[in-house]
Amino acid sequence: MSLALLTTICGGITVVILTMLAWAFWSDPERGLAQTTHRAEKLPSVMADRYTAFAVLALVFTLYGDVNVLIALFAVCAFMGFADGLIYARAGHPHMKHTISGVLSTVALAIAVAARVTEGAS
């Protein structure tokens, strides 16, 4: 087995685990907290490390410079912005910072897709 194949397998396992955890939180947040052993009172600290991790990923992806990878990044950021905005809006809380994040990420996504289409045509 090549290291490249093993790396791909590791990626697939990561997808399965993260999908299972996401489903746990979407379907029953208490179950998600229990499965991950997160504590509600520690979520602000957890969010700090998550935003740090996403900032590092965004930096690495940007420096790598692959338009396809940036398309994926902007799509994920748009999903997070719109999903968070919807969660807060439904609960009657301010949501515009989240929703605007989704809009700006969608603009970046559109630019990246246009770059891919333009580069692919030449």
pLDDT tens column, 26-61: 999 999 999 999 998 999 999 999 999 999 999 999
State both tokens at 10: 């590791």
State both tokens at 86: 């919807």
pTM across the whole model: 0.87
Q: Which DSSP category does 41 fall into?
A: G
pLDDT tens column, 67-85: 999 999 999 999 999 999 9
Amino acid at 95: H
Split at pLDDT 50, 70, 90, the class of 119 is confident
Place of tokens 């290291």: 3
pLDDT tens column, 98-111: 999 999 999 999 99
- Pick left, alpha or beta for residue 92 (phi over 0 → left; psi -120 to 50 → alpha; otherwise beta): left
Judged by DSSP in three states, 16 sits in helix
